[in-house]
Amino acid sequence: MPSNNSKYTPEIRQRTVNHIIESGKSATSVAEEMGIDTNTVCKWVREYRRSNQLPTYHEEKGHKATAVRSEKELTARLKEKEKRIRELEEEVDILKKSLRIFMQPQ
């Protein structure tokens, strides 16, 4: 709920939020255009979406929430990637040797 000492009227807030939702523009770009603090405009949009049970920006755009990975999981993935790098380096060495053999003059 807006405070009594807010420098933006409820009408300005509502028009700004409507513009963002209808135009599909980001709250950040609209805030910059209007010269209003980005966090303020984002908060207005967030509150509007919650109060009207609309999907969040990320849900609307189809962004998936990133999963927090444990240290064990990250270590296991790192080991897998290092193993794959070693395998690929070995393949490259074999191909280089093969190329030398086939490039020798007959």
The structural domains of the chain, with segments of one domain joined by +, span 10-61, 67-106
pLDDT band at 66 (very low <50, low <70, confident <90, very high): low
- What's the angle, vertex CA 12, arms to CA 27 and CA 22, rounded to 5? 45
Nearest to 57, CA basis, from 41, 37, 42, 35: 42
Q: Which fold has domain 10-61?
A: Arc Repressor Mutant, subunit A (1.10.10)
The predicted-structure confidence for 4-57, as pLDDT tens digits, reads as follows 557 889 998 999 999 998 888 888 999 999 899 999 999 999 899 888 888 776
pTM assigned to the model: 0.51
Vertex 1, ends 28 and 29: CA angle to 5°? 5
Residues sharing a CB contact under 8 Å with residue 21, sequence separation 6 or more, in sequence order: 45, 48, 54
